[in-house]
């Protein structure tokens, strides 16, 4: 396992993160403590140090398991958890991004994790309710208190993230260093604005849903299995199946699994990309960890890009067409290092 800097910070995180939403069986699925421990030990044995959880995962069990697992070497691990989502459904103040819930949630996480600080605190999702300056000032207070070291933001529109870091920089508050979003061969819509923003603001990106709800594992590639999945979890689109089948074809060519190809493609994307591995069994996690050994040739990447490409929509399509009107006859003579 190699390491990357967490965006604009100096924090070193392993090139794959361990997602722990499957730690605990409180939601009717997931892994027991023994199985969770095996997955944690397997990840750590490969050099992994970046653990991702949340205050609400499996009703707090995930944090409790993680706290137990890291206790023998707490300072080695980069512990990331999240606030926002409601942990007492009848109570309106037990969810959201406001100061009361944020402070309460962090204290709950510290208790469940059995630690006195959180390495990386994620805002889990934007609530479209709390004023941005309230969020950023409260987060900065937590950093200054020493209870939180670094900040990240998840599942939030790009314009809000941009505004947040601009505000933080102007006011001398702690900015976000990382962005967590769904991103995979199946879900490439973040390429429209979230990923370009992350590169410009130097945010590390930790994608979740990297196997597209299991579609990129290849297990639904037969029509019969896709139909069975449709009855349980909704239909699999024909485009998604086409993408998965192309990944499976490449996997057979290079002696890999379809999941490994999907993760390897993700790791090749531009910017600081640290995929989150979520698994229910040690075997699944072991398979995903082996993606570090997979090499995709340019021809493989081109095939995957073409089969999964999306329309960027307005304004990008329009601005590409308008290039001649903007630059005139010099359009082909300008070497523009700002545009990638």
What CATH code is carried by the domain that includes residue 145?
3.20.20.100
Q: Which residues of the chain have pLDDT under 70?
A: 223-234, 339-340
Q: pLDDT tens digit string along 283-329?
A: 999 999 999 999 999 999 999 999 999 999 999 889 888 877 888 88
41 in any annotated domain:
yes
Is this structure's pTM higher than 0.85? yes
**pLDDT in the model for residue 39:** 98
Longest Cα–Cα distance in the chain = 67
Query: How many domains does the chain divide into?
Result: 1
Of 91, 169, 86, 166, the closest CA to residue 127 belongs to: 86
Measure Cα distances from 33 to 20, 37, 52, 288 in Å: 11, 6, 16, 20
Catalytic center residues = 57
Whether 334 maps to a domain, the answer reads: no
Give the domain extent around 45.
Answer: 3-313
Residue position matching structure tokens 């239909």:
235
* Residue 220 burial (10 A CB sphere; 0-12, 13-18, 19+): buried
Tens of pLDDT, residue by residue over 102-120, are 999 999 999 999 999 999 9
Query: Is 298 inside a domain boundary?
Result: yes
**Is residue 318 included in any domain, yes or no?**
no
Whether residue 319 is contained in a domain is answered as no
User: Does residue 333 form part of some domain?
Assistant: no
Q: Tell me which residue has tokens 């994620």.
A: 122
């Amino acid at each position: 396992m190699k390491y990357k800097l967490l965006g604009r910070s100096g924090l070193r995180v392993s090139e794959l993160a361990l997602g722990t939403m499957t730690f605990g069986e409180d939601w009717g699925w997931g892994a027991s403590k023994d199985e969770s421990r095996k997955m944690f030990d397997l990840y750590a044995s490969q050099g992994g140090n970046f653990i991702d959880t949340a205050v609400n995962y499996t009703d707090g069990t995930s944090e409790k398991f993680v706290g137990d697992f890291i206790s023998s070497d707490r300072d080695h691990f980069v512990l990331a958890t999240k606030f926002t989502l409601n942990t007492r459904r009848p109570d309106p103040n037990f969810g959201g991004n406001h100061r009361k819930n944020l402070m309460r949630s962090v204290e709950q996480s510290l208790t469940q994790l059995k630690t006195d600080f959180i390495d990386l605190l994620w805002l889990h999702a934007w609530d479209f309710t709390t004023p941005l300056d309230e969020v950023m000032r409260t987060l900065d207070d937590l950093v200054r208190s020493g209870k939180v070291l670094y900040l990240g933001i998840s599942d939030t529109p790009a314009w809000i993230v941009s505004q947040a870091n601009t505000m933080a920089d102007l006011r001398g508050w702690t900015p976000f260093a990382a962005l967590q979003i769904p991103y995979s061969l199946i879900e490439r819509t973040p390429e429209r604005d979230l990923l370009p923003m992350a590169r410009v603001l130097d945010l590390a990106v930790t994608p979740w849903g990297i196997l597209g709800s299991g579609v990129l594992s290849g297990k639904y590639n037969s029509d019969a299995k896709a139909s069975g999945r449709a009855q349980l979890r909704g239909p699999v689109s024909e485009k998604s199946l086409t993408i998965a089948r192309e990944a499976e074809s490449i996997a057979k060519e290079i002696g890999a699994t379809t999941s490994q190809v999907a993760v390897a493609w993700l790791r090749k994307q531009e910017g600081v990309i640290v995929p989150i591995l979520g698994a229910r069994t040690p075997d699944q996690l072991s398979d995903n960890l082996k993606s570090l050994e997979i090499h995709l040739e340019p021809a493989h990447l081109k095939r995957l890009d073409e089969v999964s490409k999306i329309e960027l929509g307005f304004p990008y399509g329009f601005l590409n067409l308008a290039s001649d009107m903007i630059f005139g006859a010099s359009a082909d003579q300008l070497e523009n290092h700002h545009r990638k």
